[in-house]
């Protein structure tokens, strides 16, 4: 399975993270998104006329939407990430998967503007990002009241992976996460999952690492 | 008008390889400027009211100044050495003082904590003694004999090695780092950080590399360096105070911070204070 990947892209990171969590090995094909704009070049435009990355290729299957990639990886290797199949849970998963596009458009847009100088109305992007964060905070808080730590149930699903990266990287776009305690707890729960991987700007939980031990040659 | 010696220095304002006739609008020390190719294909930089600013094209970047630079852009002799690959890493904007961006680049003690499992790892956190001097002839800050254990020092490194570093500050917002070159012992890889000051607390950072590495694809080299720098970015944006304190009463440095101490002293000596805090608040 080949992923056309940019190391700083939160959408690409969703796919890398899902693959790591479900034990799927990806063949990474790095794309010079910045400064090279390779995703707009002929080779990648032929694969994805939408001109976006990530692109996931597996035999004849070519996927260009990250939510579909999460669903595919889970269905192939870790079906528990698709939820139990209960109607309400299925609906919640679909609800947050769709919602995740708002995070990409707002917080992701603010991040590209503030970090890589992409054009955009930064005030509107940040305001829309904050509105989406407030909605997510409320949704997670209601889940907590039901006794569930994650967006659709008490275990993480592809919906959590779809929403997590742009939320965790909101400060890159000048949007603080300080006002959202439930989001911070949720982020912590996701970052402490077995086989969790990082990306630049999403640091590992230092206190969850093994206690440092002296080197053998220092003993 | 900025009353600061930094006005007469050179700054990076764009990648030459990506410049076209339409050009790019950007900012230099608060002044809106335009960088574009003229009809002869040469880079041209104009300031407010169409004022023509000095231009130089070096190390893949266009350089300019609001004042009157007394010297050419500082030399990097390795840029003329055959066999090296030159990598334009691309711009990254950071909401921090341009001087803080350079200071962070000079620091090694943060490697195990910010660049975990790449440039450093626990428990290998000790910064051994190294030498720092302000070289009077070149008028540059130099740190030499810097050694650090690194799990993956470069894209071309396989496995952990003890890497040796040298750091240079040849201009107030630029630093050049020389580090052990895994495929070619005896030579140094060159990694530079060119910082464009937009405002005292906002900068565009243009990393650039001159490496001996014939094998790694260019995109992998760019991604490696962007990964490192983006790990720094979130730290830089949270440093307090925003401006770099030059008053010794503000912070208590340790031995590991010798390069930073020399850099701050050198800035102060030259009245390079754009982005600096002079009196502790």
Average pLDDT of span A127-133: 98
User: What integer pLDDT is reported at residue B123 of this predicted model?
Assistant: 85
CB–CB contact B219 A32 (8 Å):
yes
Residue A219 binned pLDDT confidence (cut-offs 50, 70, 90):
very low
With a CB cutoff of 8 Å and minimum separation 6, the contacts of A102 are A128, A132
**Separation between Cα atoms, residue A122 and residue A106, nearest integer Å:** 9
* Bridge-based pairing state of the strands A27-30 and A2-5: parallel
Whether residue B89 lies within 8 A of chain A, CB to CB, comes out as yes
| Residue B136: count of CB within 10 angstroms of its CB | 7
Please answer yes or no on whether B92 and A116 come within 8 Å at the CB atom: yes
Q: Which residue of B has its CA nearest to A202?
A: B231
The Cβ of residue A185 has, within 10 Å, a number of other Cβ atoms equal to 14
Is residue B146 within 8 Å of residue B108, measured between CB atoms?
A: yes
pLDDT at B252 > cutoff 90: no
Percent helix, strand and coil across chain A, each to the nearest 5 = 55, 10, 35
Would you call A34 an interface residue with chain B, using a CB distance cutoff of 8 Å?
A: yes
* Residues B213-225, mean pLDDT to the nearest whole number: 94
Q: pLDDT band at B250, cuts 50/70/90?
A: confident
Chain A's closest residue to B94, CA to CA, is A115
- Is residue B52 over pLDDT 90? yes
* pTM: predicted TM-score of the whole model, two decimal places: 0.92
- Check: CB of residue B245 under 8 Å from CB of residue B237: no
Contact B261, B269 (CB under 8 A): no
Model confidence pLDDT, tens digit, residues B67-101: 999 999 999 999 999 999 999 999 999 999 999 99
Mean pLDDT, residues A132-161 taken together: 98
**Buried (b) or exposed (e) across B99-124, using 16+ Cβ within 10 A?**
bbbbbbbbbbbbbbebbbebbbbeeb
Predicted confidence at residue B68, as pLDDT, reads: 96
Q: If 0-12 CB within 10 Å is exposed, 13-18 middle and 19+ buried, where does residue A18 land? A: buried
Whether B27 and chain A come into contact, CB under 8 Å, resolves to: no
Q: How confident is the model at residue B229 (pLDDT cuts 50, 70, 90)?
A: very high
- Whether the pLDDT of residue A178 is over 70: the answer is yes
Judge: B95–A114 Cβ closer than 8 Å, yes or no: yes
- Which chain A residues touch B92 with a CB distance below 8 Å? 115-116
Q: For chain A, positions 173-192, list CB contacts with chain B under 8 A.
A: 174
CA B177/CA B186 separation, integer angstroms: 15
Instruction: With a cut of 80, say whether residue A76 has pLDDT above it.
Output: yes
Q: Output the pLDDT for position A105.
A: 98
CB contact under 8 A, A214 and B123: yes
Q: Predicted confidence band at B255 (pLDDT cuts at 50, 70, 90)?
A: confident
Whether the predicted pLDDT of A218 surpasses 70: no
ipTM: 0.90
Q: What mean pLDDT is predicted for residues A174-189?
A: 97
Distances in Å between the alpha carbon of B32 and those of B66, B206, B269?
A: 11, 18, 29
Q: Is B113 on the interface with A (CB under 8 A)?
A: yes
**Exposed / middle / buried, residue B265 (Cβ in 10 Å: 0-12, 13-18, 19+):** middle
- Given a contact cutoff of 8 angstroms between Cβ atoms, the answer to whether B189 and B209 are in contact is yes
Strand, coil or helix: A214? coil
Indicate the pLDDT class of residue A211, thresholds 50, 70 and 90. Answer: low
Cβ within 8 Å, pair B89-A35: yes
Cβ distance of B237 and A171 shorter than 8 Å: yes
pLDDT at residue A30, rounded to an integer? 97
pLDDT at position A66 over 90: yes
A35 interfacial to chain B (CB closer than 8 Å): yes
pLDDT at B175 over 90: yes
pLDDT, position B256: 86
Does the distance separating the beta carbons of B222 and A117 come in below 8 Å?
no
Mean predicted confidence (pLDDT) in A152-175: 98
How far A119 CA lies from chain B's nearest CA (Å)? 12
Q: What is the pLDDT of residues B152-170, one digit of tens each?
A: 877 777 778 889 999 999 9
B53–chain A nearest CA distance, Å: 23
Question: B110-134: per-residue pLDDT in tens?
Answer: 998 899 888 998 888 989 999 999 9
User: Do residue A201 and residue B231 have CB atoms under 8 angstroms apart?
Assistant: yes
Mean pLDDT of chain B: 93
Contact B204, B93 (CB under 8 A): yes
Tell me the mean pLDDT in the region A129-139: 98
Q: Is the pLDDT of residue B13 over 50?
A: yes
Q: What is the pLDDT of residues A17-64, one digit of tens each?
A: 999 999 999 999 999 999 999 999 999 999 999 999 999 999 999 999
Look at A172 and B90 and tell me if their CB atoms are within 8 Å. no
| For range B243-270, the mean pLDDT | 90
Centroid of chain to Cα A178: 19
């Amino acid at each position: 399975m080949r992923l056309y990947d940019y190391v700083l892209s939160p959408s690409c990171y969703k796919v890398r993270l899902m693959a790591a969590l479900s034990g799927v090995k990806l063949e990474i094909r790095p794309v010079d998104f910045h400064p090279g704009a390779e995703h707009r070049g002929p080779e990648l435009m032929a694969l994805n006329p939408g001109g976006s990355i990530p692109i996931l290729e597996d035999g004849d299957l070519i996927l260009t939407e990250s939510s579909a990639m999460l669903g595919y990886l889970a269905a192939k290797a870790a079906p528990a990430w698709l939820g139990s199949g209960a109607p309400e849970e299925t609906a919640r998963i679909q609800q947050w998967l769709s919602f995740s596009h708002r995070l990409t458009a707002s917080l992701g847009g603010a991040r590209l503007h503030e970090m890589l100088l992409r054009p955009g109305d930064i005030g509107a992007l940040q305001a829309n990002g904050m509105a989406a964060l407030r909605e997510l905070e409320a949704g997670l808080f209601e889940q907590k009241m039901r006794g569930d730590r994650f967006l659709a149930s008490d275990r993480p699903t592809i919906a959590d992976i779809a929403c997590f990266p742009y939320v965790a990287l909101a400060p890159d776009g000048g949007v603080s996460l300080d006002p959202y305690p439930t989001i911070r707890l949720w982020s912590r729960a996701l970052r402490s999952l077995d086989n969790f991987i990082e990306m630049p700007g999403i640091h590992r939980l230092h206190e969850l690492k093994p206690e440092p031990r002296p080197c053998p040659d220092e003993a | 008008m900025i009353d600061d010696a930094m006005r007469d220095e050179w700054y990076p304002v764009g990648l030459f390889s990506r410049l076209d006739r339409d050009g790019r609008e950007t900012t230099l020390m608060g002044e809106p400027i335009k960088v574009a190719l003229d009809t002869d294909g040469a880079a041209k930089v104009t300031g407010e009211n169409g004022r023509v600013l000095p231009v130089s094209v070096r190390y893949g970047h266009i350089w300019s100044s609001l004042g009157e630079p007394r010297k050419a852009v500082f030399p990097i002799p390795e840029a003329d050495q055959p066999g090296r690959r030159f990598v334009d890493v691309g711009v990254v904007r950071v909401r921090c003082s341009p001087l803080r961006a350079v200071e962070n680049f000079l620091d090694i003690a943060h490697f195990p904590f910010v660049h975990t499992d790449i440039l450093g790892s626990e428990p290998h956190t000790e910064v051994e003694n190294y030498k720092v001097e302000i070289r009077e002839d070149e008028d540059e800050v130099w740190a030499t004999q810097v050694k650090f254990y690194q799990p993956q020092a470069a894209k071309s490194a396989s496995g952990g090695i003890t890497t040796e570093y040298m750091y240079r500050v040849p201009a107030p917002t630029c630093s050049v780092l020389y580090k052990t070159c895994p495929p070619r012992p005896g030579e140094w890889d060159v990694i530079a950080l060119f910082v464009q000051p937009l405002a005292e607390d906002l900068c565009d950072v243009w990393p650039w590399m001159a490496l001996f590495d014939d094998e790694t694809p260019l995109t992998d080299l760019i991604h490696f360096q962007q990964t490192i720098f983006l790990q720094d970015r979130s730290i830089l944006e949270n440093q307090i105070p925003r401006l770099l304190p030059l008053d010794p009463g503000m912070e208590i440095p340790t031995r590991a911070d010798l390069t930073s101490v020399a850099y701050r002293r050198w800035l102060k000596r030259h009245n390079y204070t754009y982005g600096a805090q002079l009196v502790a608040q």
